[in-house]
Structure 1
Amino acid sequence: MIGYVTVGTNDLDRAAAFYDALLAELGAKRLMDMPNGILWGTAYGEPALAVMRPYDGQPATSGNGSMVGLAVDTTEKVDRLHAKALELGGSDEGAPGPRGEAGFYVGYFRDLDGNKFNVFLSPAS
């Protein structure tokens, strides 16, 4: 159902380096390179992530209560991507591990602009 998610940045070059390295771990690459943003994904027609300078020219801010979830297929990938985000300068928002009773496994982090993400393995995966 979700085509793509966009988060804002105030430093596109810095964000590009962060996401080039982080999303490569998921097999994603740049699908679109625009003057004000970049779109990463595995293929057109699949869910993607865009990082953009705000269209209105105002500073980008992270949304309180907003979060982007990156789905993976093993707990090892959750651990690896969470660690990679921290290695790239992101901040920890919750170490990888099981959450709830249904077998949901997730790690939380913030990117360089403060946008909140998680990497998760769904019980249905």
Structure 2
Amino acid sequence: MIDHIGIEVADFERARTFYDKAMAPLGASLLMMVPAEFTGGRKVGGYGRDRPVYWLSEGGAQRATGHVAFTANTRAEVDAFHAAALAAGGRDNGAPGPRPHYHADYYGAFVFDPDGNNIEAVCHRPE
């Protein structure tokens, strides 16, 4: 149902460094930077696996933070995402593990990004 989503980040390069590392275990990377002539000089880049779906836009700090969950193909990817995000400077918001109160096969991990957004990797497959 959702095609893509975008957030503003206070420091684009700091966010890019974080997301480059956090997205790698999920098979995602920065796929596109929008040319500055189309953004009024702001840095705007999109992450994804085969097309940009998660967009970062340089701007002020967000007043309200959000929650975005990224699909992982395996539970091992969830574990690797969590470790990579913490190593990149993220703050733990829920270690990898089952969340049966959400769904029987829900396995997720939560991290706050440098701007305070709650990002998650989730696998819906049984072990």
Q: Does 2:58 correspond to 1:53?
A: yes
**What is the CA-CA distance between 1:21 and the residue it aligns to?**
1.9
Amino acid at match of 2:43: N
Task: Tell me if structure 1 keeps the 8 A contact 2:113–2:119.
Answer: yes
Q: 1:39 pairs with 41, 46, 50, which one?
A: 46
What's the CA shift string for 1:84-123, capped at 9, x where partnerless?
1001000001111111251211111110111111111114
- Paired with 2:73 and 2:27, the residues of 1 have a C-alpha distance of 13
Q: Which runs of 5+ in 1 are unaligned?
A: none
1:68 aligns with 2:57: no
CA distance in 1, matches of 2:74, 2:27: 14
Deviation, structure 1 residue 73: 1.6
Q: Distance in 1 between matches of 2:6 and 2:126?
A: 26
- SS of the residue corresponding to residue 15 of structure 1 reads helix
Q: Could you tell me the TM-score, scaled by structure 1's length? A: 0.83
Alignment CA distance shift 1:79-1:124 (3 Å): closer
TM-score normalized with structure 2 length: 0.81
Gaps of 5+ in 2: 35-41
Q: Which residue of 2 aligns with 1:108?
A: 110
Query: For residues 17-49 of structure 1, what are the alpha-carbon distances to aligned partners after superposition, in whole Å with 9 as ceiling and x for unaligned?
Result: 1112222222223222134211011123xx611
- Of the three residues 116, 119, 122, the one matched with 1:120 is 122
Matched residue count: 118
In the alignment, is the contact (CA less than 8 A) between 1:8 and 1:62 conserved in 2? no
CA contact (8 A) 2:107 2:122 kept: yes
Kindly, what percent of the aligned residue pairs are identical? 34
Deviates more, 1:3-12 or 1:35-44: 35-44
Name the amino acid aligned to 1:91. Answer: R
Q: Runs ≥4 in structure 1, deviation > 3 angstroms?
A: none
Change (3 A) 1:111 1:99: same
- Please, what is the CA RMSD of the aligned residues? 2.1
